Structure 1
Amino acid sequence: MSQHAQSTPNHSAPHHSSPHPSSPEPAPRTGQTGHHPAPSSADLKRWRQYLADERAEAAVYRDLAQNREGEEREILLALAEAEGRHEAHWLGLLGDHAGKPRPASARSRMLGFLARHFGSVFVLALAQRAEGRSPYAKDPNATDAMAADEQIHEEVVRGLATRGRNRLAGTFRAAVFGANDGLVSNLSLVMGMAASGVASSVVLLSGIAGLLAGAMSMGAGEFISVRSQRELLAATRPTQVTLAAAPKLDLEHNELLLVYLARGMSHEAAEHRVAERTGLLSCDCDPSLSLQPELPEEEDQHEAVGTAWGAALSSFCFFASGAIIPILPFLFGLTGVSALVVAGALVGVALLATGGIVGLLSGTSPLTRGLRQLGIGLGAAAVTYLLGLVFGTVVG
């Protein structure tokens, strides 16, 4: 890795001149005491790799922290410090065998590159997956505390990544659905038309029509869907009518108590709030019942739902970008089976890519998600092709 990967954490950590773990470092999980046999060459190689990866991961968190402020920055620096403690453990076991710093694994180097140049939610999603795949739980030379650290780190990174995922959720959902719908629906359309025996020019025109119609439909549908969802959420948000109406209510017969009960307050807390709002509060009550004034929450236009225009534009563009791929071979003059094979191959690559991106962002296996997308997409196209054959035979 870069100079980050070769630097040690800036906190003091015990270093040892002996490779044996009989030192102030936490004992390995085996719990044995006394004399230990000299580590094997396989042990030394594994420990050196762990050491390199811990240094690289600490550098990743420090690089991410440079692009953050406040609480997120402190969390990332604390994670880097924890990786430094793990580094000190492997240094203690290696002792004089530490040798020259080894390069970090390809995964850690990629994380470092992304963290330095992008610092996006993709990096946190990859870091979450990396923490979840830690080998310490099964390695007898790692301590129980280290294995537990890695589990906790996964949850910490998951929490940090969630913030970015929430900001992406609405528009990202529309983009992924749009691209996949474009790929699958237009490939199915092209395959079905070609199987029915029509001319290649008709197949091309059908593909172009499917692209335009589908993109318009997706854009309009996403706009209506997201706008409707935002209106539904707005309808459930409490208004500030209680602030204006409370002073004018009949103090003996008023329904203000019902408002707060309906919002989920306990009966005691609701009565306390009514007394506050009507100016009758004169008792020495539980201060925890004095809630904050009902100020309107600041609306986050990017939280979970996303904006209607953003979702519509993403759906339109990504559907079109996906739908054009199956007709590219026909645009470049290919016809017949060769055009269908090339179209299927191009769409397969695109489905693997979109599925992999979803896997990365969700912290799961990119390969598994990519293969799932590929199977669903090509399966739908194959069914449509068979239906086209049947239709062509019947009509013919």
Structure 2
Amino acid sequence: MKPPSPQPSRQQARPADIRRWRQYLADERAEAAVYRDLAGRRTGEERNILLALAEAEGRHEAHWRELLGDQIGKPRKGDIRTRLLGFLARRFGSVFVLALAQRAEARSPYDHDADATEAMAADERIHEEVVRALATRGRNRLSGTFRAAVFGANDGLVSNLALVLGISASGVSNQTVLITGLAGLLAGALSMGAGEFVSVRSQRELLEASTPNPETRTALPHLDVDANELTLIYRARGMSEQDAAVHAAEVLRDNSLAGTRPDTRQGISADDHEAIGTGMKAAVSSFCFFASGAVIPVLPYLFGAQGFTAVIIAAALVGIALLVTGAVVGLLSGAAPLKRALRQLAIGYGAAAATYLLGLAFGTGSI
């Protein structure tokens, strides 16, 4: 907990205090505007939550206005990160903005600033969790597509860059490198598509095997009430013997087997089939995402670049793409985008460097 400290009066405030308060005031105004802009793109409960966050930032703004009094000065701009957040909120209002807002709330300086109240510091910690929850809704909505896009494109980038650089280092002709790169693109994309198709179909088949047979309800009128075999269904699903007996009695009384649907404790719901999607859609998406990444290292050879120049251009293009995909993963996961981008770059370049060295070692010059 932040140690209590007497609030400085305006007469006692140093110029550094005045500057800091003015910046806090500007930041609070900017953050409130971000939440209002986001609320303008939402409806229902999400809109109300975002407006409540804007109202809370307004209370913090009032605190700094009161401390500054007649020394409030000219309106200042918020810090660069808050202004960027506002720009994105006005134009996109997406889960990316909420992920950035989550990080912004986590960086609040109020915990260690004696001029901020404990309530303000507590507000900022709560705001982080509120924005995290809102961002999680968006992450869940796009998780399947996002997973296919990022993993597919990243696999295409890394695997085909490694293939192209390894073959290029072996000393073969440019035409051979180009044909190899295009073959790697097609083979990898087909493999990804087929793998995703099998994976999704298998998941759907597992779900279907775990879904109760709707025809079972026709047996209800003929069950022996004294033996009540229906209790075994609910006991198999994890209910205690007593709870299963009570629930089975209710079902028999209502002559309905609605309770035979899987419950949430099994992790299966009626929407699970929809969330997984169709095998063909997943296969086509994976094929396209992989191909979109795998084509990048081939581009220099397609446009006639030669030798080491083509290698450098291919590596540079893929490096930029890896930084972008890594940053996007970082933003959506609420982590530092730069750290994730550099990690993605290091992994990709590490794989490419290994195959390039192997190409040099076993190339035509060594035979």
Structure 2 length normalisation: TM-score?
0.90
**CA distance in structure 1 between the aligned counterparts of 2:254 and 2:90, rounded to whole angstroms:** 58
Aligned residues: 359
Q: CA deviation at 1:34?
A: 8.5
Q: Secondary structure at the match of 2:362?
A: helix
Tell me which of 147, 153, 156 is aligned to 1:179: 153
1:307-386 mapped onto 2 (5 Å cutoff): 307-386=278-357
Q: Secondary structure at the match of 1:279?
A: helix
Q: CA deviation at 1:362?
A: 0.6
Partner of 2:56: 82
Q: What residue ranges of structure 2 are gaps of 5+ in the alignment?
A: 263-268
CA contact (8 A) 2:5 2:114 kept: no
CA contact (8 A) 1:67 1:119 kept: yes
Tell me which of 23, 29, 39 is aligned to 1:65: 39
Look up the equivalent residue of 1:88 and give its one-letter code: A
Query: For 1:115-153, what per-residue CA distance to the aligned partner results, in whole angstroms no more than 9, with x for missing partners?
Result: 222211111111111111111112221122212211111
1:105-254 mapped onto 2 (5 Å cutoff): 105-240=79-214, 243-254=217-228
* Larger CA deviation: 212-221 vs 200-209: 212-221
Q: CA deviation at 1:158?
A: 1.1
Q: CA deviation at 1:240?
A: 4.5
Look up the equivalent residue of 1:82 and give its one-letter code: A
Look up the equivalent residue of 1:334 and give its one-letter code: A
Look up the equivalent residue of 1:372 and give its one-letter code: R
Tell me which of 269, 278, 299 is aligned to 2:271: 299
Tell me which of 229, 232, 236 is aligned to 1:262: 236
Q: Closer, same or farther in 2 for the Cα pair 1:47/1:236, shift >3 Å?
A: farther
Query: For 1:82-136, what per-residue CA distance to the aligned partner results, in whole angstroms no more than 9, with x for missing partners?
Result: 1111111111211111122211222212222222222111111111111111111
Look up the equivalent residue of 1:337 and give its one-letter code: F
CA contact (8 A) 1:359 1:366 kept: yes
**CA distance in structure 2 between the aligned counterparts of 1:280 and 1:199, rounded to whole angstroms:** 77
Partner of 1:12: none
Look up the equivalent residue of 1:232 and give its one-letter code: L
Calculate the aligned-residue CA RMSD, in Å.
2.5
CA contact (8 A) 2:251 2:259 kept: no
CA contact (8 A) 2:65 2:72 kept: yes
Q: CA deviation at 1:298?
A: 4.6
Which of the two has greater helix per residue? 2
Q: Closer, same or farther in 2 for the Cα pair 1:311/1:125, shift >3 Å?
A: farther
CA contact (8 A) 1:359 1:370 kept: yes
Q: Closer, same or farther in 2 for the Cα pair 1:227/1:130, shift >3 Å?
A: farther
Matched-pair identity in %: 66
**CA distance in structure 2 between the aligned counterparts of 1:264 and 1:222, rounded to whole angstroms:** 32
Q: CA deviation at 1:395?
A: 6.2
* Larger CA deviation: 129-138 vs 236-245: 236-245
Partner of 1:271: 245
Look up the equivalent residue of 2:319 and give its one-letter code: G
Look up the equivalent residue of 2:328 and give its one-letter code: I
Partner of 2:266: none
Structure 1 length normalisation: TM-score?
0.84
Q: Secondary structure at the match of 2:363?
A: helix
Look up the equivalent residue of 2:33 and give its one-letter code: A
